Structures are given as structure tokens and as C-alpha cells.
Amino acid sequence: MTQQRTILVNKSDLTATQAKSGSPGSLDEGQILLEVEQFALTTNNITYAVFGDALAYWSYFPAEDGWGNVPVWGFAKVISSANSNIVEGERLFGFLPMSSHLVITPSAVSDLCFSDGAPHRSQLHPWYNRYYRCASDPLYSDETADSQPVLWALFMTGWMLAEQVADTVDTVYVTSASSKTSLSFAWSMKHLKAETKVIGITSPGNRRFVETLEQYDEIQSYEDIQAHSDTKKAAFIDVAGNAAVRSAVHVILGERLTDSITLGATHRAPADDSLPTPGPEPYLFFIPSVAEERSARDGFEVSHQRFSEAWAAFAPWAAKWLTIKKGVGADAIEAGYRKALAGGMPPEQALVFSW
């Protein structure tokens, strides 16, 4: 009998975890049972936990009261099917629980993908409900399978943001310059041949790593953020989520700052609304909504094909500096989660786990 293993996180104390096991349950007509093959644990997943209630991340894979199942990106294999459109043995990529198995109800099935039509997910964001069929996904390749769970969502964020801001300003300031999301953005700006100057802001400890990648036109430190006299129109991309840094950039750039975009909160410090932030109101660049809007505008398959082509160029570059650290089993997964929660992972490393 198949045993489902799960790592749950205490919603009120993210450092507290528990391992559970049990049956994944029987299949109703139209459902399939997935066996999770491998998934990544990054700062992105910690953000899902931090905003689990505010952005409904706990709702995708419900758990017992007081506990949450942290969503992850990864691959799964169909091991049982009661759906005539999905065969056993098929490999999928998508949004998964920190569990060894998952029952989903495929809907809107196409050759490329399908969605989970489970009732509890019907009101949740469609971007997270979609599962890509690896055999027909133009983005998938065996060579990039290890990095895809790590970088797929982060690269989409950087790529689509670069498409939005390229050549709309003469300078862009980006915090957390060593983060995979910021590097995805900087690489995308070069790939798009944008004339915009991209300035990465980083810590002294990560400066050398950022310099070796040669993706930013200039690198500054958090302690010495400077505006140049030739900057006429600037954008600020805040990946760190540090209120003091955000305030400093707004103040230093003054009226030259025309766009202030929030991507994440790698800093994870308490918000401080008392600090001055003159200029444009910061707004969240929420990639699920942006990606769905692009798909509606251009057509889903067209949009996905363009992203796949960008990924095919980006992934080999990322492979030159990204080191995947793999772990197996519940103990390794719990340890990896705590490591990601505590921060301090070198920017050139990523954690990928299997059960």
C-alpha cells in the first residue's frame, strides 16, 4: 500500500516542523495520483510560508489546523490514473506540496498542460494550478531538469519584468543583486539588448560572486548607494524588501525615480512605514498575474513558446555557476527547509530534494 510522507510547518512558528505519514487516499473518477520525484527549496518557498495566509499559499495543499504544507516547484510522475486523458508513467512539472504524493483532478487538458480542477483550488490563482506535461513541453529537457525546479519561477519573474522595463528608463537599481531572481532580470536585460543601465546592489560578502558573472553595468553596496548625474529617469526593483534600503534609494534618486517595483522579501525584516519614501508608490510585481495577463494578450501557447526559447538560452548560462545540492528522505528535507528558512545559503548553490 502506498504511504504518503509529508513535512508540515507550524503556521505561527515557521521553525517548528513535523513529519507525518498516511494513505494518499483512493481515486475518484477523473483523478490521478502523483508521486513527487524531486523539488527545490529556495528563499522563494520561504516567502510562500511567510505570506501563507495573506496570499493563500496555505490553501493549495490544506493541512490540519495550525499547520501548513509549504508549496514547492518540482517534478512528479503519474503512478495511478482514473482519468482517460492521463496515462500512468507520465512526468509532470508544477506546483507541489512538501509531500511524497498528491491527488489531483485534471481539467482543461491539452497536449501541453492541464489544471487541477479540485474544488478547493477553484478560487485560487490559475498560474499555480497548472501542470506541464514534460513529454510535450518545449521548455523541458533532461539536461536542465535539475535546475528547472530551482529557477523556472524565478527566471519567469526576471524575464517578464525585463520585458516590461527595458528601455523605459535609463537606469535600473536592483537590490539582492546576487539572488537568482535579480540575476535572471539582469541576464534578461542583456539578452534583450536593452540600453538601460542596470545597477546591482549587494552585500560585501556577495560582491565578488556578482562581479564574476558580469551581468550588471555597475555594482554598488548597500552602505554606499549613489545616483549619477547623468541619470534622468530611473526605476527601482526591490528584491530584498529592506525598508531602510528602499527609503535610501527613493531619497537619493528623488524626482528622477519614476517606478518602484517590489518583487520579494529576501531580507525578511519587519516593515517600517515611518521611513521616508518620496516619489512613486511601490507596487508588487506579482508574476502569476503578469504571466496570465501576457498569456491572455498573446495566447497561452505563444507566450509559453517565447518563454521556452528564453529559458533555452538562460539555463546553460546558469549551469556555469549554479551548484545543485541534493538530498534524499524526510530528514534531509526537514534540514533543508530549516537551512532555507535561516538564510545564508551561498547564492551559487541551490537545494533539490527527493523522497
Domains in the chain, please, with CATH?
4-147+322-354 (3.90.180.10), 151-287 (3.40.50.720)
351: left (phi over 0), alpha (psi -120 to 50) or beta: beta
* Inter-residue contact 329 to 303 (CB < 8 Å): no
**pLDDT value for 268:** 52
* Inter-residue contact 170 to 196 (CB < 8 Å): yes
The four Cα atoms 176, 59, 151, 307 give a dihedral, to 10 degrees, of: -110
Burial of 29 (0-12, 13-18, 19+ CB in 10 A): exposed
Query: How confident is the prediction along the chain (355 residues), in pLDDT tens digits per residue?
Result: 689 999 999 999 999 999 999 998 899 999 999 999 999 999 889 999 999 998 999 999 999 999 999 999 999 999 999 999 999 999 999 999 999 999 999 999 999 999 999 999 999 999 999 999 999 999 999 999 999 999 999 999 999 999 999 989 999 999 999 999 999 999 999 999 999 999 999 999 999 999 999 999 999 999 999 999 999 999 999 998 889 999 999 999 999 999 999 986 554 555 556 788 898 999 999 999 999 999 999 999 999 999 999 999 999 999 999 999 999 999 999 999 999 999 878 999 999 999 9
Distances (CA, A) of 314 to 52, 218, 247, 309: 30, 21, 32, 9
**pLDDT value for 73:** 98
DSSP 99: B
254: left (phi over 0), alpha (psi -120 to 50) or beta: left
**pLDDT value for 267:** 46
**pLDDT value for 345:** 85
Distance CA 93, CA 95 (A): 7
Distance CA 115, CA 112 (A): 11
Distance CA 237, CA 341 (A): 23
The DSSP annotation for 257-298 comes to EEEEEE---SS-PPP-TTS---SSPPEE--HHHHHHHHHHHH
Question: Whole-model pTM?
Answer: 0.94
**Residue 319 C-alpha from the chain's centroid:** 17
